Amino acid sequence: KQEVTQIPAALSVPEGENLVLNCSFTDSAIYNLQWFRQDPGKGLTSLLLIQSSQREQTSGRLNASLDKSSGRSTLYIAASQPGDSATYLCAVRAGGTSYGKLTFGQGTILTVHP
Amino acid sequence: GAGVSQTPSNKVTEKGKYVELRCDPISGHTALYWYRQSLGQGPEFLIYFQGTGAADDSGLPNDRFFAVRPEGSVSTLKIQRTERGDSAVYLCASSLRIGGGIHEQFFGPGTRLTVL
């Protein structure tokens, strides 16, 4: 059974810092990995999707990397801003018979102080 | 529509009652997913549809939970004899298709279910 773990559970940083969020998964036979943002009381907003054949994806100040063989992904946020404060979730999509579903980590709660 | 929509946004019910939660996916998306998110946790998979059929319902916790998608578009998640432990946010997502290509899942705002 796939398990996804995110470290740290919470992170508080001053504005302007570069930061790294970590995600690990136990079964490397994944189809893709997505990073999401969730604001309090809201749904999920997709940030980046990395296919299993890719090593990284970039969007603006966000960069996500994937090391499938070691079961790890990192989300790098450059020059953090108070508006980045949210919960960040990573999710892996399996292959095989569990093809459609995403398995999520518990999330990292990020607070960026002005 | 522009995105995935879910109704109602909030539902309060009493223990033992029956509830229906509705999801309207992005137009043209053939795959539809239901997840459940408890407080402080990541979403947990319940069921997904490819077209009208349930391709994987392995996440449904018990037989009180049932979902349909009769015309391959709108889906309804049905919960019978609700229990307090069913209280959670129910999220719906859709994607273009299951097989091949990049099929990013887009999520709706969720329905917050509270069972008193």
Q: What is the pLDDT along chain A (114 residues), one digit of tens a residue?
A: 899 999 999 999 999 999 999 999 999 988 899 999 999 888 899 999 998 899 999 999 999 999 999 999 999 999 999 999 999 999 999 766 556 789 999 999 999 999
Mean pLDDT across B78-82: 97
Q: What is the DSSP string of chain A?
A: ---EEEE-SEEEEETT--EEEEEEES---EEEEEEEEE-TTS-EEEEEEEETT-SEEEETTEEEEEETTTTEEEEEE-S--GGG-EEEEEEEEE-GGG-S-EEE---EEEEEE-
Q: Is B106 on the interface with A (CB under 8 A)?
A: yes
Q: What pLDDT does B100 receive?
A: 56
Task: Give the pLDDT band of residue B52 (cuts 50, 70, 90).
Answer: very high
Could you report the per-residue pLDDT of B6-20, keeping only the tens digit for each?
999 999 999 999 999
Q: Tell me the backbone φ, ψ of residue B84, rounded to 5 degrees.
A: -60, -30
**Tokens describing residue A95:** 């292959």
Q: Look up residue B94 and give its amino acid.
A: S
Question: What's the pLDDT score for residue B99?
Answer: 58
State the Cα–Cα distance between residues B22 and B28, nearest whole angstrom: 17
Tell me what pLDDT residue B98 has. Answer: 58
pLDDT band at B102 (very low <50, low <70, confident <90, very high): low
What one-letter code names the amino acid at B15?
K
Contact B56 A42 (CB under 8 A): no
DSSP B52: T
Alpha-carbon distance B40 to nearest alpha carbon in chain A (angstroms): 7
pLDDT of res. B1: 52
Dist. CA B52–CA B72, nearest whole Å: 4
**pLDDT of the residue at A40:** 87
Give backbone dihedrals phi and psi of A18, rounded to 5 degrees, phi first: -90, 140
**Are B31 and A100 an interchain contact pair (Cβ–Cβ within 8 Å)?**
yes
Confidence at residue A96, expressed as pLDDT on a 0 to 100 scale = 63
**Collapsing DSSP states into helix, strand and coil, what is residue B66?**
strand
